[in-house]
Structure 1
Amino acid sequence: MSQPEEQQWKLLLLEALVKERREEAQQVIEEVYPYDLANWYGELGKTEQERLLRYLDHERLADVIEELEIDEQLEVIRRLDVDHAGHVMDLMENDDVADILEELPDDEVDRLLSGMRPDEALVVRNLLTYPAETAGRLMTNRFIWVTDESTVGETIEKMRDYIEYSETINYVYVVNQLSQLVGVISYRDLILASNDERIADVMDRKVISVSSETDQEDVAKMFERYDLVSLPVVEGDVLVGLITVDDALDVLREEANEDIEKLSASGKSIDFDTKPWVAATRRLPWLILLLFIGLVSGSIISQFEETLSKVVALAFFMPMIAGMTGNTGTQSLAVVVRGLITREVDKRVVTRLIIRELRVGLIIGVTCGILIAIIAYVWQGDPILGLVVGSSLIITLIFGTLAGTIIPLILHRLNIDPAIASGPLITTLNDILSLLVYFGIATAFISRLM
């Protein structure tokens, strides 16, 4: 749908809701995607939101709720009566229901589950027993499995019976009499096989699976590494669920958002709708800490007050030296954090990365150092000042690049999320380093600068 078409449908829906024209609203609802309805929902007034919820049938409402942000999901579920909410949650993916209910108090969870079908409620309760952000919380029980004794014909017939129930039909998973995962067969291979062949004879016995306790970030990496569209979840060898690629994509988005928040030192999630006071209180702890660390920079300058008073021109280049060092450190930090997310790291990879970044720092440092040395000489007419500024920048850019590389690697080694080595922290530390180097070199050449 193009943007002009989307805007046109949006205006038609708004007009129908305002004028309470149910049939016109439902015509628009049938023409647009649940994702679009979810986006428009937050822009509607309270009255129009309630009318939209009334006009949506159970299946369409379930699809829309799955596209909403968690705060809006909670709001919508609470607006529905128990029976209505139960029917809708029966149609939603079990893991999405579990994510919503996790945010609610126990009594409200019990009340909502009482409105669901007993079999669906049982599955959701089971999902809630798994730790958050694990494979167990991502998995669904809506998939097709057969025993290894089944025939191809029986499997295809089962697929026809459960096609509306299953989240994916790309693969059928095979278990033995003990419900242990023993193989997998693709829809393509089923079509090519003869109906009377046994599944055990045509299935692929090499099955990639994860434990229910596996961290969700590791699950997402497996999808990326092996180009999967679904991933079975086991406890021991027993097949207990399936994770689909859309859930893995959601995990990658969540993890990326978390890393961005940590890199910017903003802590918990802050978006366009976050209240000013909440946003400020989430940012302040880090900023206050960095404020006190930043005072170290002031104390360094005070230690070299005599040098600065004798050669005032040194002050002209202070912001540039500190800023360039912080910038190159932040660039290296971003490269390392992104690499740690997307690939496995061992001693060989770390060594190669550090050597590579050392060379990068050297190239950047020499290039920028020579350039600023020439500028300082032409501007101030003092070759020694140019030497001090240029050599300082070379050294600080090399160390700044290495700091942005090594600090997150050390944190990763200590099993601490490397994204907490945030941009502001690296920048502040590099500011301190750059001032020490700059004024140290200037003090060594003070007699020639005067």
Structure 2
Amino acid sequence: MTQPLNLEDSLLHVIKLLKEPHHHGLHVYLEEFQPYDIAEIYRNLPTKHRAKFVTSLEAELLADLIQELEYEQQLNIFLLLGIERASKIMDIMENDDLADLLNELSNDQTEQFLGSMEAEESKNVKDLMQYPRETAGGIMTNRFVWIRENYSVREAVDKLKAFAEYAENIYYLYVLNDQKQLVGVVSYRDLLLADINETIHNIMYSRVISVPDDMDQEEVARTIGRYDFIAVPVIDNEQKLVGIVTVDDIIDVIVIEANEDVEKLSATGKNSIDFTTNALTASLRRLPWLILLLFLGLLSGSVIASYEATLDKVVALAFFMPMIAGMTGNTGTQSLGIVIRGIASQHMDRKTIFNLVWRDIGVGLILGLVCGILIAAITFVWQGNFILSVITGVSLLLTLIIGTLAGTMIPLLLFKLKIDPAIASGPLITTLNDIFSLTVYFGLATIFIQYII
């Protein structure tokens, strides 16, 4: 069983090996490490040792390292290596990772690097760079193995062996016709089980699940998750196979999209805020949301002010105000999280939306009844006023129903308007529910004020 990386010991050992006149020991030490672990070593090495570490690595290992790093670190390594050696590393790298990197460079830098690569590899990378970043084309690789349907199983296996090192994924062989259109797929398992002289046409699946090259990456992720694929083929508008999206790239997409949704739900905006973000940048990214919530908060305060006379007559109403507002915000945020997760994991048609709304009416009713009866009993025991206990109980019942529906309806409405539903952040739902709950609570109290005094 492989042991997890002991970073401190590994760093000390790598620094020791870097001081030796020859780097054979470093190569032997690192060859059993996973690319991620090598990248962790690089990130944590003292700056003075990084250049020597990079220049000491063999091409294959260096390509693996670069693909695990962030854009700025990748660029620093390429500039350190120089055009000649960098081009050799680029020929080894996965084309989709390289396309992402080159898209971040200036046109002059991109042309310089592409011009120094092998012609075929350069063309493959250029083909990938034409697609928008967050689409199937933007995350696919064009390194795959394809065959003709008139091949025998033996011929298909021979081609698979010949291109196994080149291809990013060898679990599927894609069957193309003379126009390079996708007409079938054969799995590695199918080849192993078939007779060696059988033709591909007889064992291939002709009903191929594919995605268009302009499909959003989140929908691609849902497709792979829905069918449990290791890879999914990508086709253009002429049904020609242009690439494949592999599950490792989809995992990256899921992590990125989940982080973006968490940031929006936290009202921190689309741009990421982490431990390294400086105070000014973090403040500017959060300020627009906070200003919006500030004005909504003033509206909430104006609701209380409009019922000042009621509050003056029955001071006990103030005791339950934070509880009712807080409970409504909590249930709204819970519903919001469930809806966001549901939208991300399944297709939301009219029937699904209707069932979800109807279910949440029931959820709000059950939660409201249980919590309303409980708070009504507590109010009666504490204040000894039956009408006041009924008002608090009924208010909590109504506001929990409203809060649950608000947490459900707002993200669904944004989803239907083609707006990212994660924008309906937790703080926004909470603030709106404060306004709803206080209006209901003080409205009922004002109607029945003569029975409370």
Give me the TM-score of the superposition, normalised by structure 1. 0.95
| Residue identity opposite 2:359 in structure 1 | R
Change (3 A) 1:285 1:382: same
Question: For structure 1, which segment, 10-19 or 117-126, has the greater mean C-alpha deviation from structure 2 after superposition?
Answer: 10-19
1:264 — aligned with what?
Answer: 266
Secondary structure class of the residue paired with 2:446 = helix
2:329 to 317, 326, 329: 326
Alignment of 1:76-155 (within 5 A): 76-155=77-156
Structure 2 gaps, min length 5: none
| Residue identity opposite 2:450 in structure 1 | S
2:276 — aligned with what?
Answer: 273
Whether contact under 8 Å (1:18, 1:48) holds in the other structure is no
2:214 — aligned with what?
Answer: 213
2:419 to 401, 416, 419: 416
**Residues 1:203 and 2:190 aligned together:** no
2:396 — aligned with what?
Answer: 393
**Deviation of 1:297 (Å):** 0.7
1:242 to 221, 241, 244: 244
Alignment of 1:375-394 (within 5 A): 375-394=378-397
Change (3 A) 1:4 1:146: closer
| Residue identity opposite 1:416 in structure 2 | I
1:116-166 Cα distance to aligned partner (Å, 9 max, x none): 222111111111111221111122121111112222211111111111111
1:314 — aligned with what?
Answer: 317
Number of corresponding residues: 450
Change (3 A) 1:387 1:230: same
Change (3 A) 1:357 1:10: farther
Change (3 A) 1:287 1:74: farther
2:228 — aligned with what?
Answer: 227
1:171 — aligned with what?
Answer: 172
**Residues 1:252 and 2:254 aligned together:** yes
- Cα distance in 1 for residues equivalent to 2:70 and 2:444: 54
Whether contact under 8 Å (2:144, 2:244) holds in the other structure is yes
Whether contact under 8 Å (1:9, 1:28) holds in the other structure is no
**Deviation of 1:353 (Å):** 0.7
1:296-346 Cα distance to aligned partner (Å, 9 max, x none): 011111111111122222222222111111111011011011101110111
Change (3 A) 1:438 1:213: same
1:162 — aligned with what?
Answer: 163
**Residues 1:293 and 2:287 aligned together:** no
Structure 1 gaps, min length 5: none
- Cα distance in 1 for residues equivalent to 2:161 and 2:365: 63
Whether contact under 8 Å (1:35, 1:64) holds in the other structure is yes
- Cα distance in 2 for residues equivalent to 1:323 and 1:284: 23
- Cα distance in 1 for residues equivalent to 2:54 and 2:385: 74
Whether contact under 8 Å (1:232, 1:241) holds in the other structure is yes
Secondary structure class of the residue paired with 1:231 = strand
Secondary structure class of the residue paired with 2:241 = strand
- Cα distance in 2 for residues equivalent to 1:370 and 1:71: 59
Alignment of 1:339-350 (within 5 A): 339-350=342-353
Percent identical pairs in the alignment equals 51
Whether contact under 8 Å (1:13, 1:24) holds in the other structure is no
- Cα distance in 1 for residues equivalent to 2:287 and 2:91: 42
1:303 — aligned with what?
Answer: 306
| Residue identity opposite 1:124 in structure 2 | V
Give me the TM-score of the superposition, normalised by structure 2. 0.94
1:369-427 Cα distance to aligned partner (Å, 9 max, x none): 12222222223333332222222111111100000001111111111111111111111
| Residue identity opposite 1:422 in structure 2 | S
Secondary structure class of the residue paired with 1:31 = coil
Whether contact under 8 Å (1:326, 1:428) holds in the other structure is yes
Runs of 4+ in 1 over 6 A off after TM superposition: 18-21
**Residues 1:282 and 2:285 aligned together:** yes
Query: Please, what is the CA RMSD of the aligned residues?
Result: 1.9
1:427 to 410, 426, 430: 430
